[in-house]
Structure 1
């Protein structure tokens, strides 16, 4: 109809097509349907969540993020929007059995060196994993603590210990604190913290890694004490 407006009147075309002129003018004012507008809005949220994850989350994790934001949508809808937007999970993000056996794949210096008293928030975060016994078995809790306030700024709980467990906790800390300068993140030499995915996430979010010496819990005493309570 819009194409033929120079030739025919809107009322004449609407009469032939059995449409009401108000519907056509509403479309001219806003050509996107409500569903299309929702697709556009939620696709924007998906892209933001995907970029915050370091471009590693797939549609399942992104669906969880949208639900956390109060969005109502099913996993299939998120999968469709992600596919149309070219959003895919990074290959190798899932835990691969046997990958972490033996010597850690990524080991860094103990930059923190037990300097647990810091002068500003969001300058040093420490992280650790503990387990909690429940009626259904064990659950694993990962926490991220700001050394300045000794407050937990990020956490995640699952019934197993993949790298995703600690990435979720660190992602929460990044979302909540939104640091404007580089943050030192200290951990032990657990397999989750020596993974390539962990190192990639830190680099993407301008975070510097510090790591305890092997088998020395005192190098990460604040986090160890917090998860032991």
Structure 2
């Protein structure tokens, strides 16, 4: 947002832009002051600024294939003491990602032939009470014996998981089991207007 304000401040002014964006003018001016005087940065911010070029250097020197673990280990070999989670955070901020062996694993495979239900949420995931909006999805976790798939249903009011199931395959049954568990635990009353929202993944079976 700071770069956006920098680009358009000459045309619209800082305050009018900040009135539209979720940022206070004081926050923007504080960022400008720290950018002009790095001594005003926090210890963590100064440490990040020193680490960023080192991380990028290791990434570039190794043909842009190193991921977080290998970049972290290379920095340690060079005597640069940094936590792995810090390397992961900074690489993510800089858009650096190593090469992943094998084919990427997809969980959401849209079925273009299936009818598309109306989106009753319209990207508004804040609600004022429980059992008004449930959001469902499933993901995978790599294990020594293969992939484990985890389906979950989240109540958007408190961001609480109200139903979940684990399976060794991405079939519709275990996804529906997670939804049935949520219904059994919460027992929403009929006519209360509960909305269940999910993506269009055909293998998830939510369209059933």
| Larger Rg computed on CA atoms | 1
TM range (shorter): 0.3 to 0.5
Q: TM-score, length-normalised on structure 2?
A: 0.44
TM-score (norm 1): 0.40
